[in-house]
Structure 1
Amino acid sequence: MPSFRLAIAVLPPLVLAPSLSAQELGEERAREAEIVVLGRGLDETPAAPAYDTITIGRDQIVSAPSGRIEDVLGAVAGFQQFRRSDSRSSNPSAQGVTLRALGGNATSRALVLLDGVPMADPFFGYIPLSAMAPERLGAIRVTRGGGSGPFGAGALAGRIELESAERAALAPLSASLLANDRGETEASLGLAEDLGAGFVAADGRWDRGKGFFTTPAEDRVPATARAAFDSWSLGLRGVAPLSETIELQARGLVFRDDRTLRFEGADSSSEGQDASLRIVGRGEWQFEALGYVQARNFSNVVISSSSFTRVLDQRNTPSTGLGGKLELRPPVGEDHVLRLGIDYRRASGELQEEAYSAMSGALTERRRAGGTNTDFGLFVEDDWSLGDLVLTGGLRADRTTVADGFYRAVDADGVLVEDTVAPDRADWTLSWRAGAAYDLSAALRLRAAAYSSLRQPTLNELYRPFVVFPVVTQANAALENERLVGYEAGFDLTPAPGIEVSLTAFDNEVKDAVANVTLAPDLRQRQNLPAIASRGVEGGLSVTRGEVRFDGTLAWTDAEVEGSGPSADLDGNRPAQTPRWAAGASLAWTPAPGWMLAASLRHVGAQFEDDQETDVLPAATTLGAYAQMPLTAGLSLVLRGENLTDERVVTRNDGGSIDLGAPRTVWAGIRFGY
């Protein structure tokens, strides 16, 4: 990590400090030159290895065959979105992410953080994946399970922590331009500049294309449309020292994403404006103070699959997220790392939509729905180092509130059809976690952990019904918080230099799991299931031999629904959208500076579309490739290939109505400054 001089150090000494001697001035400058800004949060604690964690480095991040962040995360077996589609060919509201086969609906059960800020949409809970350009990132840390701890509620299935690239990884000017065999384009531009002892970085990305047909050829009709997409994002980040041990970090993100799905006129859009400030202190009393605000919106038009006319226009869904976190690490001795803190999140939003007759196209209803959710948390955690043994334990208390909830519908003449005002609710929940990591030898670490966590239902789940024609899914304002209790044990083995092996066995159970429960052939409702139990094994292998590196992960999961009462017929079923097997592997060769040749393999096992286990999504294995070859100083030729074997990837199967994932796609272009 390079050091940066304060701008003040290069100004004339007579202006800055006329009373300093030459020797004193030199000492002052030397002291100032030691100030280093990192642009990240506090370091991981000694007990971090007690939990099942995988770190993805920058080289692997920027060499994804599709150039999409979900492709990068697919290297971690067990990571999944609600659907197998990527962020060019799915509805944004289906981009919930989870780990450990704890899927079942479109809301995220994994907590996704960008520089410490939760990225889930305040209303829907989906992740704006298209706004997360891989070239902005320096590392990704994925923790499967592990509970909430001091990271905020919502980490039911684990955490995905995205860290922006450090200054040393950013060229003063970087750019790329690629096109694929369908004429689609991907363009990015980045600027980075030192400012005194700090730096500022700005970047932009624009992806657009006509897309591919998600509908199989035999099922297409004149109204069938390609999955066209047009998305852009702009990011700005600044880091500056406030003292030798304290730095200020500021970040802003603006994005918009427009897509079309299945039929002409079935257009969706999502947009956001995010801003955050973080102050990090790395002195004797370490601390991290974070505040953020998010303004988001979503719209969506639903087209009938029989009459091919507009039946629903979700024209406006403005939402706001705001929150913050304060963590303090007081000096309590060399053997302890104590963490004390509070965090807060508030999500508010409102749905505005109109329903239309599939036959006549006439307006039938105007609907509005929305509310406010909050979560206030208190946490304490301590890591205790006892030689080769590290013990950790912590408690977290969350006060969650559900307030101002309503659903109102009027007909075309303004006559009231339904007016529901949900009662306000509040509750305290206590979560805990504990773990141990023991270095049995220099090559072998044993670890074990137990934990609990919670997730609050989103405003979307509580108040917004939706239609994937002809199936209607009803909201449920009475949904309770999901609560998870989990256990795991495993080991990390380094049998020889450059070889790392990990294995984890886990047993997780989500009580009151929210799922889309079938009530009739064309009717579902979000309900709390008694529980979803998920047990399995996760393995990882990393081998580095000179210029060659292999990374592989494998996950086997046995998950089942525990049903009773209205969901009794689901007892023993496998949860919807939950594969038994998942695997990811990548092989990279860097024969010389600036060169990289890589291949990646992704496998997702068969899974059921619905809770009744009637419609199957077959297993799918895809192969990708990436090549970067220097042309001149700083300029490289880039070739990428997605799904090179042209595997048929079924992403939706509703009674035989099928959507497909991306076919074989080949990209070529240039990249400068990486």
Structure 2
Amino acid sequence: MTLMPRLAASSLAVMLAAPLAAQEADLPADAEEASPAEAIIVTGRGLEPALSTGIYATSILEREVIIASPSGRIEDVLRNVAGFQQFRRSDSRSSNPTAQGVTLRALGGNATSRALVLLDGVPIADPFFGHIPLSAIAPETLGMIRVTRGGGSGPFGAGALAGTIDMESAEPGQTAGFLGSAAINNRAETEASGVLTQRLGRGFAVASGRWDRGQGFFTTPADQRVPATARAAFNSWNAALRAVAPLNDEVEVQARVAAFRDDRTLRFAGADSFSNGEEASIRFVGRGALQFDALAYVQARDFGNVVISSTRFTPTLDQRRTPSTGIGGKFELRPPLLEGHDIRIGVDYRQADGELQEEALNAVTGAITERRRAGGATSNLGIFLEDDWQIGPLIINGGLRADRTSITDGFFTAVNAAGAPLRSLAAPDRSDWAVNWRTGALFYATRRLDLRAAAYTGLRLPTLNELYRPFAVFPVTTEANASLVNERLRGYEIGLDWQPVNALVFSVTAFDNKVKNAIANVTITPTLRRRANLPAIDARGIEASLGAKLGRVSIDGSLAWTDAEVAAPGTALDGNRPAQTPKFAGTLTLAWRPVDGWQLAGTLRHVAAQFEDDLETDILAPATTIDAFIAAPLWGKLSLVLRAENLTDEAIITRNQGGSIDLGVPRTVWAGVRYGF
């Protein structure tokens, strides 16, 4: 699995060497004095956002917010967005990596992402599990994050059931030549990162790396600990190399190679997991009269996990490996066909394949009792057409997308230690065409008031994990379901963006979304669940955000109130709130920059109660936390950075299964230094 990215990385290096060397060699001695009209501007970004971007509920996080997170983690940055939600409340240091699904608008979840997450245009969800490798995303390498809530039919539209989180790497002008940081917290855990940006002729290259390690905290409450209870230890690193160069005055090439490794321990000594990956991508962006965006990528991922008995505290399952591969690409064309129209035509493709390899163990002797293998492949081919039509103060958007989805080569086998068959499944291949659409309008009512309305549909394929991989979190076993069908969404929303004065911006959106065939973990018995398609999940709510800047003081807030329920007539689930779905979540950040170089910020965050399970028997209590961030200049570009998570030491319940509880991060204080900006 690791060979493909290595070959891709070598190819990318060869492809980039020529244009970069040519740019360096051809650069005249007085190039720095060339007039702006003659300069080729290389940004490293994709095409400019379409006119219709403002039609759909969108939040933008700028770099200064991204790199000022109290935890230093990307999920903490994203929690500032109304409606953002992880499957569980725990962060990427203290949860199983496969539970890192992200969604928007409280549509419910089962650890698989219902939001599409992109990095420089590349989908980054795990090909087998569908979770997001949060520890592989270094916030300090990003320049901007655009979060669009609600389904859509545009480029890479499949998978954007709840919305899209689009992350862009920082441009050279946004970073110093070198940005480095190091920090240690009150548990002696450490983190270190570095980003080196180098101009190469008219292009540039960025090398980055990060290493986080620590003993972790006890996720188990004191009154439930046993001698085998262990801290949530973590050790993770990631590294990436990105290069951008102009091919001519209108076309630039962008290439990236990256790798990561993440090791964690949860609850008991020996309950260790790992995830790792390598990836490579190449992208050509044309900004001339005929604009285009052509992208290709390859990913290789792996995951392993040891399950420990909660009664004997010995291994009962060794999920040795789950190798998977994702490949894909996109081509988008923006032809200047009609005056007043912004037309986008394109095609995209994604394929994922993987295989589970695990052994069940005797909790007393440690002998192998059963060997299991499971896996398959999924693919999605999408063809899309969109048009933004501007008529004076009115922008009208319409988009149509056709997707051919396929699920193939699905299997599950189990044999005993001697190799004799115990159970087997050969799932039939299946494929289907689905049509999705979106439409909306944006009206500039006044210079300071925008009104918008939209309707849309969406699509998500079940993951290989949902289809074929069973798993256990004591005392509950969850079975896979090879018969799962695609999730479909239909939604509507209206909203406004109001700027009564230059220093104040207010946005509010009311929405009504329905996910048909929603995949959930359905309770069969107190100790058994099975993945199944629910008839529907209905979610109606209001999202709001506020941004104000009064001199050197700024206020940013967001809230999401959602009334979500399962529609399953004739069952015990009908009318229940989806598992892991809070009714209310809000955040408020107050920041002060007394003088240049200084930054002080405090964040108040509240998440309402939510249910652990679909039958509403186990409750996760509401949680209110306060975080803080302080940066103070020491000398030149060197700054002191102090950060605090959960200052009040609130008990954040992240799991409650029949009274067996896990907790989130306790009070944590960091001290460190940062060089550059």
Q: TM-score range by the shorter chain?
A: over 0.9
Is the CA contact 1:518–1:525 (under 8 Å) kept in the aligned structure 2? yes
Match of 1:606 in 2: 609
1:409-424 paired onto structure 2 within 5 Å: 409-424=414-429
Match of 2:13 in 1: none
Aligned pair 1:257/2:262, yes or no? Answer: yes
Aligned pair 1:592/2:595, yes or no? Answer: yes
Is the CA contact 2:241–2:257 (under 8 Å) kept in the aligned structure 1? yes
Aligned pair 1:244/2:261, yes or no? Answer: no
For residue 531 of structure 1, the aligned residue among 536, 539, 544 is 536
1:55-66 paired onto structure 2 within 5 Å: 55-66=60-71
1:330-345 paired onto structure 2 within 5 Å: 330-345=335-350
Aligned pair 1:625/2:628, yes or no? Answer: yes
Which residue identity is paired with 2:195? Answer: G
* Cα distance in 1 for residues equivalent to 2:253 and 2:616: 51
Aligned pair 1:581/2:598, yes or no? Answer: no
Is the CA contact 2:284–2:293 (under 8 Å) kept in the aligned structure 1? yes
Is the CA contact 1:152–1:343 (under 8 Å) kept in the aligned structure 2? no
Q: TM-score, normalised by structure 1?
A: 0.96
Cα separation, partners in 2 of 1:310 and 1:625, compared to 1, 3 Å: same
Q: By how many angstroms is 1:33 displaced? A: 4.2
* Cα distance in 2 for residues equivalent to 1:463 and 1:574: 26
Task: Look up the SS of the partner of 1:483 in the other structure.
Answer: strand
Q: By how many angstroms is 1:644 displaced? A: 0.3
1:548-587 paired onto structure 2 within 5 Å: 548-564=553-569, 568-587=571-590
Which residue identity is paired with 2:107? Answer: L
* Cα distance in 2 for residues equivalent to 1:525 and 1:83: 19
Q: CA deviation digits over 1:457-479, x for unaligned, max 9?
A: 00000000001122110000000
* Cα distance in 2 for residues equivalent to 1:303 and 1:8: 60
Which residue identity is paired with 1:299? Answer: G
For residue 49 of structure 2, the aligned residue among 44, 47, 64 is 44
* Cα distance in 1 for residues equivalent to 2:503 and 2:564: 34
* Cα distance in 1 for residues equivalent to 2:27 and 2:51: 39
Task: Look up the SS of the partner of 1:457 in the other structure.
Answer: coil
Task: Look up the SS of the partner of 1:569 in the other structure.
Answer: coil
Which residue identity is paired with 1:350? Answer: E
Which residue identity is paired with 2:312? Answer: S
Task: Look up the SS of the partner of 1:149 in the other structure.
Answer: coil
Is the CA contact 2:604–2:627 (under 8 Å) kept in the aligned structure 1? yes
Q: By how many angstroms is 1:600 displaced? A: 1.1
Q: CA deviation digits over 1:312-336, x for unaligned, max 9?
A: 1111000000000000000023411
Task: Look up the SS of the partner of 1:237 in the other structure.
Answer: strand
Cα separation, partners in 2 of 1:77 and 1:27, compared to 1, 3 Å: closer
Which residue identity is paired with 2:657? Answer: D
Is the CA contact 1:177–1:188 (under 8 Å) kept in the aligned structure 2? yes
1:369-384 paired onto structure 2 within 5 Å: 369-384=374-389
Q: TM-score, normalised by structure 2?
A: 0.95
For residue 639 of structure 2, the aligned residue among 628, 636, 640 is 636
Moved over 6 A (4+): 25-28
Match of 2:398 in 1: 393
Match of 1:490 in 2: 495
* Cα distance in 2 for residues equivalent to 1:599 and 1:100: 25
Aligned pair 1:481/2:486, yes or no? Answer: yes
Q: By how many angstroms is 1:592 displaced? A: 2.0
Task: Look up the SS of the partner of 1:150 in the other structure.
Answer: coil
* Cα distance in 2 for residues equivalent to 1:506 and 1:126: 25
Number of corresponding residues: 656
Task: Look up the SS of the partner of 2:507 in the other structure.
Answer: strand
Is the CA contact 2:27–2:201 (under 8 Å) kept in the aligned structure 1? no
Q: By how many angstroms is 1:32 displaced? A: 8.2
Q: CA deviation digits over 1:167-206, x for unaligned, max 9?
A: 1012111211100000000100111110000000001000
Q: By how many angstroms is 1:78 displaced? A: 1.3
Match of 2:293 in 1: 288
Is the CA contact 1:146–1:449 (under 8 Å) kept in the aligned structure 2? no
Q: CA deviation digits over 1:499-525, x for unaligned, max 9?
A: 000110000000000000001111100
* Cα distance in 1 for residues equivalent to 2:141 and 2:362: 45
Match of 2:442 in 1: 437
Is the CA contact 1:366–1:411 (under 8 Å) kept in the aligned structure 2? yes
Aligned pair 1:671/2:674, yes or no? Answer: yes
Which residue identity is paired with 2:622? Answer: A
Q: By how many angstroms is 1:306 displaced? A: 1.1
Match of 1:215 in 2: 220
Is the CA contact 1:335–1:385 (under 8 Å) kept in the aligned structure 2? yes
Is the CA contact 2:630–2:642 (under 8 Å) kept in the aligned structure 1? yes
For residue 74 of structure 1, the aligned residue among 70, 79, 93 is 79
Cα separation, partners in 2 of 1:546 and 1:333, compared to 1, 3 Å: farther
1:214-363 paired onto structure 2 within 5 Å: 214-363=219-368
Match of 1:21 in 2: none
* Cα distance in 1 for residues equivalent to 2:492 and 2:233: 43
Match of 1:451 in 2: 456
Match of 1:53 in 2: 58
Is the CA contact 1:6–1:32 (under 8 Å) kept in the aligned structure 2? no
Which residue identity is paired with 2:24? Answer: A
Is the CA contact 2:279–2:298 (under 8 Å) kept in the aligned structure 1? yes
Task: Look up the SS of the partner of 1:577 in the other structure.
Answer: coil
* Cα distance in 2 for residues equivalent to 1:589 and 1:27: 37
Is the CA contact 2:103–2:109 (under 8 Å) kept in the aligned structure 1? no
Q: By how many angstroms is 1:8 displaced? A: 4.5
Gaps of at least 5 residues in structure 1 are 13-24
Q: CA deviation digits over 1:127-185, x for unaligned, max 9?
A: 00001010000011111114232233000000001110011012111211100000000
Aligned pair 1:541/2:558, yes or no? Answer: no
Which residue identity is paired with 2:492? Answer: Y
Match of 1:654 in 2: 657
Which residue identity is paired with 2:298? Answer: V
Which residue identity is paired with 1:323? Answer: G
Task: Look up the SS of the partner of 1:206 in the other structure.
Answer: strand
* Cα distance in 1 for residues equivalent to 2:365 and 2:25: 71
Match of 1:15 in 2: none
* Cα distance in 2 for residues equivalent to 1:286 and 1:657: 56
Is the CA contact 1:304–1:470 (under 8 Å) kept in the aligned structure 2? no
For residue 7 of structure 1, the aligned residue among 8, 24, 30 is 24
* Cα distance in 2 for residues equivalent to 1:361 and 1:440: 70
* Cα distance in 2 for residues equivalent to 1:188 and 1:216: 32
Cα separation, partners in 2 of 1:174 and 1:29, compared to 1, 3 Å: closer
Gaps of at least 5 residues in structure 2 are 1-21
Which residue identity is paired with 1:645? Answer: T
Which residue identity is paired with 2:675? Answer: F
Q: By how many angstroms is 1:590 displaced? A: 1.6
Is the CA contact 1:605–1:620 (under 8 Å) kept in the aligned structure 2? yes
Which residue identity is paired with 1:484? Answer: L
For residue 128 of structure 2, the aligned residue among 109, 123, 132 is 123
Deviates more, 1:399-408 or 1:245-254: 245-254
* Cα distance in 2 for residues equivalent to 1:157 and 1:232: 29
Cα separation, partners in 2 of 1:78 and 1:10, compared to 1, 3 Å: closer
Is the CA contact 2:442–2:450 (under 8 Å) kept in the aligned structure 1? yes
Task: Look up the SS of the partner of 1:324 in the other structure.
Answer: strand
What is the CA RMSD across the aligned residues, in angstroms? 1.5
Aligned pair 1:114/2:131, yes or no? Answer: no
Is the CA contact 2:153–2:399 (under 8 Å) kept in the aligned structure 1? no
Cα separation, partners in 2 of 1:422 and 1:590, compared to 1, 3 Å: same
Is the CA contact 2:101–2:109 (under 8 Å) kept in the aligned structure 1? no
Which residue identity is paired with 1:47? Answer: S
Aligned pair 1:462/2:479, yes or no? Answer: no
Deviates more, 1:582-591 or 1:630-639: 582-591
Which residue identity is paired with 1:633? Answer: G
